[in-house]
Amino acid sequence: MTVLRYTSYIRPFAMLFTLAVLAGNASACSVPVFRYALERWQADLYEVDVFHRGPLTPEQRAAMSALEDRSQVNGGDLNWEIVPCDVADDLAPDLQTVWDGLTDPALPFVVLRSPGGRQGSPIVWTGPLSAIESTLAVSRAERELARRLLSGDAVVWLVLRGTDQSQADRVVTLLTEQFPTLMEEIELPAGVGLPGSELLARIPLGVRFSLLEVAADSGLRRTAVARSAQPVDEQTTLVVPVFGRGRGAQVLTAEELDADVIADLSRFLCGACSCQVKQLNPGFDLLLPVSWDERLYGDDVPAEVLADATATNADEPTLVAIPAGPAKVTSMEARPATAADEAANRAAAQTETTPSPVQVKNDWYLLGTCVLIVGLVYVWRRQASWSRRNSE
């Protein structure tokens, strides 16, 4: 009877302990989506395909080198890579497809492609090499967007105006009316800052939304139009909720936007980051002039961020250096046509087969708890059996 009484007291505590461990395991990362993306998800690289025939002139090589110097791969501030494409040589299949789609371009000719992933690589801009610097010059809106994200805004809602001003005004009014209520009602996930849910950057954490209006002729609007799921005319106002390191969650037209859509997206982006693999989350990265790791961490980048960046960069296509001399520039060799898809698949497989230290620790806790419960149940059943025998 003494043992029975002991086990009857232990069982409730064991059940509570099990629930606590299971809850901890289920919310292994309580960091909000927007903050996890800001601290850990490297910005995807846009692709600047420069089509030319034969050797480049010194002026053209200088223009190419200037573009390459801006790439984050080479220590610059833009998330793009430069891909020389000599049409006199054999091109990789995806580059050949892009080249075949051009109509008598004046070489050297540039095609700016958005990071592809599972949706292909949408073309954002095309034009002569001589026009890329002036056409794609960084705007004040892009710099302001980056500033807000780095200052602690959870989501910056881009309003990309079309020519229909009344439509754009309605969108601005709707968003402005929803923000105060959402910022008051939405709560951050419990457990932020605890082991497994640590914050890495010294940026205020809070539910803060802002609205940024962008002119109709901006590069941000060109990108949104390229990523839209439906054709967009020049009159239509587009809305893109942006979080993390300039990641657009979705492209919405003015007709699609309502209070429920705003609330659902806001709650998702402020909720716990249940899927930490970037490629398995919705969204697309914008082309922004920001060295994110440097701005977030200075010279003291956390080891886990460096590890994530190394894993991501290892899956990226190889960047071809631009020759300093008159040597012939060739196209990229052995470049997989679906590198982004393969990277996403490898990242997903890595997540499934190689759990993080936090996941391993939680799994051990869960295993220990299960062993404890099984042991208690075994003792309880043995004692019950002995009691029955004694009573007989």
CATH of the domain at 240: 3.40.30
Tell me the C-alpha distance between 239 and 298, whole Å. Answer: 32
Q: Residue 311: its pLDDT value, please?
A: 58
Residue 351 has pLDDT above 60, yes or no: no
Residues 243 and 171 in one domain: yes
| 312 is a domain residue | no
Residues 184 and 284 in one domain: yes
Residues 155 and 228 in one domain: yes
Residue 2 has pLDDT above 90, yes or no: no
| 65 is a domain residue | no
Q: Residue 376: its pLDDT value, please?
A: 65
| Domain termination site, one of 296, 323, 345 | 296
Q: Residue 387: its pLDDT value, please?
A: 60
User: Residue range 364-377: average pLDDT?
Assistant: 56
| Domain termination site, one of 296, 311, 326 | 296
Q: Residue 207: its pLDDT value, please?
A: 97
Residue 21 has pLDDT above 50, yes or no: no
Residue 20 has pLDDT above 90, yes or no: no
Binning pLDDT at 50, 70 and 90, where does residue 8 land?
Answer: very low
pLDDT: which is higher, 200 or 280: 200
Least confident of 153-157, 219-223, 277-281: 277-281
Q: pLDDT of 227-250, one tens digit each?
A: 998 999 999 999 999 999 999 999
Cα dihedral sign, 108-111-112-117: negative
Residues 151 and 278 in one domain: yes
| 268 is a domain residue | yes
Residues 369 and 249 in one domain: no
Least confident of 205-209, 286-290, 297-301: 297-301
| Domain termination site, one of 278, 296, 314 | 296
Least confident of 178-182, 327-331, 346-350: 327-331
Binning pLDDT at 50, 70 and 90, where does residue 384 land?
Answer: low
| 41 is a domain residue | no
Number of structural domains in the chain = 2
Residues 157 and 288 in one domain: yes
| 89 is a domain residue | no
Residues 292 and 143 in one domain: yes
Binning pLDDT at 50, 70 and 90, where does residue 316 land?
Answer: very low
pLDDT: which is higher, 374 or 279: 279
What whole-number percentage of the chain has pLDDT above 70? Answer: 70
User: Residue range 328-333: average pLDDT?
Assistant: 28
Q: pLDDT of 214-232, one tens digit each?
A: 988 889 999 999 999 899 9
Q: Helices 357-391 and 2-26: crossing angle, nearest 10°?
A: 160
Binning pLDDT at 50, 70 and 90, where does residue 371 land?
Answer: low
Beta-carbon-side half-sphere exposure of residue 244 (alpha carbons within 13 Å)? 25
- Rounded to the nearest integer, the mean pLDDT of the chain is 79
| 221 is a domain residue | yes
| 67 is a domain residue | no
Domain that holds residue 380: 2-28+356-391
Q: Helices 259-270 and 33-40: crossing angle, nearest 10°?
A: 50
Residue 140 has pLDDT above 70, yes or no: yes
Q: Is 135 helix (H, G, I), strand (E, B) or coil?
A: helix
Q: Residue 360: its pLDDT value, please?
A: 38
Residue 166 has pLDDT above 70, yes or no: yes
- Tell me the backbone φ, ψ of residue 124, rounded to 5 degrees: -95, -40
Residue 334 has pLDDT above 80, yes or no: no
Binning pLDDT at 50, 70 and 90, where does residue 269 land?
Answer: very high
Residues 229 and 372 in one domain: no
Instruction: Kindly report the pTM of this predicted structure.
Output: 0.72
Q: What tokens appear for 16 in the block? A: 């509570």
Residue 149 has pLDDT above 80, yes or no: yes
Q: Residue 16: its pLDDT value, please?
A: 38
* CA 51 to chain centroid: 29
Residues 291 and 360 in one domain: no
Least confident of 3-12, 36-45, 298-307: 3-12
Transcribe 174-226 into DSSP letters: HHHHHHHHHHHH--PPTTTTSTTS---S-S-----EEEEEE-TT-HHHHHHHH
What whole-number percentage of the chain has pLDDT above 90? Answer: 59
Binning pLDDT at 50, 70 and 90, where does residue 71 land?
Answer: very high
| 301 is a domain residue | no
Residues 265 and 361 in one domain: no
Residues 173 and 280 in one domain: yes
Residues 291 and 361 in one domain: no
Tell me the C-alpha distance between 264 and 100, whole Å. Answer: 41
